[in-house]
């Protein structure tokens, strides 16, 4: 940060500290502090669900402790440090900050495909369903969806596409394959890891580019024990979200070979993706990425205890096959609809249910806030609210 900007931010930090009752700590004390002191348990997010005031207070603490250097249009300063951190964690030569996951996926596929403009994707993938056909319209790619309504496609699915492409009257080669895992539209279901390895090996033999849409990759690691770097190793490029569970307000990381990413900041800017200062997003993501997998594993243990304790009677649990942090709690009886309101005074935030004819379905997300309670205590609160 420039001196004037730093002085101004520290003045704001002081106000934030006074308003929110948070002392400005020394660097050592700030690093030793818990990642949150809140007692709120959110059951409807991948992340902590930080409020604007909590986000500002956290940035105040971090700036007071670290005196970060600002970036200019995403270049240099703390953003560069965070890019280097994620490159190491993901086992790649280079990483580049992106303002959104949509742009990260897009630029990866655009670069990997090159002049071979067909790209194999899951029919349920984010890049195929939720980006307004951006890769098709803006980069002239042709997305070839496979495996309708399935998280996992097979090499046989890909091979059929390759064979059909090879026999067309006009040559139009497949340049890249994209795999999303966990899959959002399948409630966090994982792509089968053995099939993933086979697809990557076969694609390598044919010189087809490989991209991993790993927005929630670190969540997958907490459930499977496979490290983010091991997941990313067979792929040329990998994208990870910085806001979904690392609690930044925005942002994404795209990691891969230096030859692929060096100079991509020009393309990022061409697409309107060079925001003037990205350092707040980078700082928050770096803060919560450190030790995330271990903390989420602890939260998973709490959730498993909750599932064991609450199941039975009017409550039924529905797990996602080969899933991660999302499951459904189905509660019978008229009182089920009132559960969110009854749990709120205990600072347990339950999502609103979908209503069936005789029950209510709550879609719960396991996140770090589960570490603020125990599975038994949460189940007891749930049953007490249901009985009341």
Say yes or no: do domains 77-279 and 293-387 share a fold: no
Provide mean pLDDT across the span 194-216: 98
Nearest to 376 by CA among 297, 281, 282, 308: 308
Burial 259-282 (b: 16+ CB within 10 A, else e): ebbeebbebbeebebbbebbbbbb
pLDDT at 333: 84
pLDDT at 37: 52
Q: Is residue 127 a contact partner of residue 105, using CB atoms and an 8 Å limit?
A: yes
Architecture label for domain 77-279: 3-Layer(aba) Sandwich (3.40)
Tell me the β-bridge partners of 328: 318, 363
> Would you list the DSSP string of 47-112?
S----HHHHHHHHHHHHHHH-PPPPBTTBSHHHHHHHHHHHHHHT-SEEEEES-HHHHHHHHHHHH
How far apart are the C-alpha atoms of 171 and 205, rounded to whole Å? 20
Q: Where are the domains of the chain?
A: 3-66, 77-279, 293-387
- Per DSSP bridges, beta strands 348-349 and 41-42 are parallel
pTM (two decimals): 0.89
Which tens digit of pLDDT belongs to each residue from 370-387?
999 999 999 999 999 998
Nearest to 176 by CA among 165, 192, 187: 165
Which tens digit of pLDDT belongs to each residue from 242-274?
999 999 999 999 999 999 999 999 999 999 999
Class of domain 293-387: alpha beta
């Amino acid at each position: 940060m420039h001196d004037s900007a730093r002085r101004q931010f520290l003045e704001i930090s002081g106000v934030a500290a006074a308003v929110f009752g948070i002392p400005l700590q020394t660097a050592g004390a700030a690093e030793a502090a818990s990642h949150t002191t809140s007692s709120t348990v959110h059951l409807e997010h991948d992340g902590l669900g930080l409020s604007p005031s909590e986000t500002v207070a956290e940035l105040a603490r971090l700036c007071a402790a670290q005196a970060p250097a600002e970036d200019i249009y995403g270049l240099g300063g703390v953003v560069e440090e965070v890019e280097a951190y994620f490159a190491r964690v993901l086992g790649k030569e280079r990483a580049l900050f992106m303002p959104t996951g949509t742009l990260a996926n897009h630029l990866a596929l655009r670069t990997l495909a090159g002049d071979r403009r067909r790209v194999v994707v899951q029919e349920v993938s984010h890049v195929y369903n939720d980006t307004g056909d951006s890769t098709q319209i803006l980069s002239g790619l042709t997305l070839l969806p496979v495996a309708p309504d399935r998280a996992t496609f097979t090499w046989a699915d890909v091979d059929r596409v390759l064979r059909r492409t090879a026999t067309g009257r006009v040559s139009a080669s497949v340049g890249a394959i994209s795999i999303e895992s966990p899959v959002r539209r399948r409630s966090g279901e994982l792509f089968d890891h053995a099939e993933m390895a086979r697809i990557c090996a076969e694609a390598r033999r044919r010189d087809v580019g490989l991209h991993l849409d790993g927005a929630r990759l670190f969540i997958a690691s907490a459930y499977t024990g496979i490290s983010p770097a091991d997941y990313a190793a067979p792929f040329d490029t990998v994208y990870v979200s910085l806001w979904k569970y690392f609690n930044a307000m925005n942002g994404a990381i795209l990691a891969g070979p230096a030859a692929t990413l060096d100079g991509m900041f020009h393309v990022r800017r061409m697409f309107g993706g060079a925001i003037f200062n990205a350092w707040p997003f980078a700082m928050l993501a770096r803060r919560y990425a450190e030790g995330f997998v271990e903390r989420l594993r602890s939260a998973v243990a709490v959730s498993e205890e909750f599932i064991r304790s609450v199941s039975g009677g009017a409550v039924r649990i529905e797990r996602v096959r080969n899933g991660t942090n999302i499951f459904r709690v189905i509660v019978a009886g008229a009182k089920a609809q009132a559960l969110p309101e009854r749990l709120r005074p205990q600072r347990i935030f339950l999502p609103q249910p979908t209503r069936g004819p005789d029950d209510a379905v709550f879609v719960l997300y396991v996140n770090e806030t589960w570490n603020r309670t125990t599975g038994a205590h949460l189940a007891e609160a749930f049953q007490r609210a249901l009985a009341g």
